[in-house]
Amino acid sequence: MRILSTPTPRGTPARPGAPAPHGARTRPGIPASPRTRVDASRWPDVARVPGGSPLRTGAARWLVVRALAGLPVRLELAGAPVAGQAGPLLRVHDPRAFFRRIGAHGLIGFGESYMAGEWDADDLVAVLTVLASHATSLVPRPLQRLRGAWTRRRPAAYRNTPDGARQNVHRHYDLSNELFALFLDPTMTYSSAVFPELPATWPDLAAAQQHKIDRLLDLAGVGPGTRLLEIGTGWGELALRAASRGARVRTVTLSRAQRDLAAERVRAAGHAERVEVELCDYREVTGVHDAVVSVEMIEAVGGEYWPVYFETLRRLLAPGGRIALQAITMAHERMQATRTTHTWINKYIFPGGLIPSAEAVERSARPAGLRVEADDGFGEHYAQTLRLWRERFTARGDDVTALGFDATFRRMWEFYLAYSEAGFRSGYLDVRQMLLTAAPAGSGDTR
């Protein structure tokens, strides 16, 4: 198996199941040498500390130490006295490697250094929340013009062409249904829940996911006889709940693993006559539908294809139909600043992904003849959802190992879940449910 586009070690099976290599049962958070922990054939960029120039490494050290000194976070460099008076503690076990990675690769190097075990935190989410809250001021304004020296453009291979989109989806969603089942609730829903009250607990999650789905189905006006199209099947919970309302559901996905399990769940629930699960690109869908629902799928479309996405939604919508979207968003200026940047999340978690702004959704929908009728944000609920997933994933680390995923993968996913939670806790990210309808002819909304 190719784990997030990294090579599979020689001699290991194509899918998880073999014993994890190189000390995979080491508990996360325990300092270890990246040279002995990281499998270089699977994680070449993590196993290899970049050479880098002394100038870039020194500049990275100066910038990081200077930035953290002005934030509510403490810093410990290889056992030296702790700098800072308040806040969570960031422990750097190998300062040389840590600053060389950041000097060479910026924030990608920061994440790879965590994967390599070169730094830890007593509260990872708290550290990342502080950094996300001050993301626009970490680098002095005069030096922000040099940002290009530490960033790279997204690889052309990540473009969401029909073939590229299939490969991008495969790298994340086809990892292993068993892996996702370890930390998701029994509904197998991999998007933000909406809780009746906060903070939330694990027993609240399944019902909160179903409540989120019901809000979307209500927004789209789904009821008996509705011809519903779902773009992005997940593992089938939304299709099941729509079918239980009497709707006729067509749901499409590019993930074979998700398609197979969703179809199995549909059959087990007795809804095979009402639900059709297809392995299909949204651009290839035909027909006319009374309602379209898509949950946190627009983030995988890619900015250059947003116009195509909304043109497709409009083409598939019957007169008087309704479109309900759930989308992660960020501020428009932040999206503009990062839309062509190669990030750690792109490299290791969601190749080809781009989080839109609410403004970008409206601007992209308008030329297709669609307008936003309602928009409801609830980012704090995603922070709680991610916390529950992260706690579950961490608690079941031995089960992750038993599936054949090594210690570097585990640290990568702990960082991903904590990084995402911090984004919502800080307000850097939001999540919203949006209703779109066709703009009346001559309304001026189709410019």
* DSSP-derived 3-state class of residue 38: coil
Do 56 and 170 lie in one domain? The reply is no
Do 137 and 170 lie in one domain? The reply is no
Do 130 and 217 lie in one domain? The reply is no
Q: Per-residue pLDDT averaged across 321-343, rounded?
A: 94
Give CA separation, 136 vs 67, 115, 334, in Å.
11, 24, 9
Do 431 and 391 lie in one domain? The reply is yes
Do 325 and 346 lie in one domain? The reply is yes
> At 442, is the pLDDT very low, low, confident or very high (cuts 50, 70, 90)?
low
Do 102 and 240 lie in one domain? The reply is no
Host domain of residue 59: 49-151
* DSSP-derived 3-state class of residue 279: strand
Do 305 and 181 lie in one domain? The reply is yes
Tens digit of each residue's pLDDT (9 = 90 or more) over 41-85: 999 999 999 987 899 899 899 989 988 988 999 999 998 989 987
Do 85 and 143 lie in one domain? The reply is yes
For the chain, the average pLDDT equals 89
Q: Which of 102, 118, 151 is the last residue of a domain?
A: 151
What is the reported pLDDT for 1?
A: 34
Do 117 and 238 lie in one domain? The reply is no
Do 137 and 173 lie in one domain? The reply is no
| CATH number for 183 | 3.40.50.150
- Residue 33 located in a structural domain: no
Cα Rg for the chain, rounded, in angstroms? 22
For 99-121, give one letter per residue: b (16+ CB within 10 A) or e.
bbbbbbbbbbbbbbbbbbbbbbb
- Residue 444 located in a structural domain: no
- Residue 27 located in a structural domain: no
Whether residue 10 is predicted with pLDDT greater than 90 in this model: the reply is: no
The residue whose two tokens read 């978690």 is 349
Q: Which of 116, 151, 186 is the last residue of a domain?
A: 151
Tens digit of each residue's pLDDT (9 = 90 or more) over 161-211: 999 999 999 999 999 999 999 999 999 999 999 999 999 999 999 999 999
Q: Are 335 and 278 in contact (CB under 8 A)?
A: no
What is the reported pLDDT for 141?
A: 55
Whether residue 17 is predicted with pLDDT greater than 60 in this model: the reply is: no
d(CA 363, CA 447): 9
Q: How many CB atoms sit inside 10 A of residue 443's CB?
A: 11
Do 301 and 387 lie in one domain? The reply is yes
Do 184 and 225 lie in one domain? The reply is yes
- Residue 266 located in a structural domain: yes
Report pTM: 0.89
Contacts of residue 112, Cβ cutoff 8 Å, sequence gap at least 6: 45, 46, 101, 105, 344
Sign of CA dihedral 238, 240, 242, 245: negative
> At 218, is the pLDDT very low, low, confident or very high (cuts 50, 70, 90)?
very high
Q: Which of 128, 151, 174 is the last residue of a domain?
A: 151
Number of domains in the chain: 2
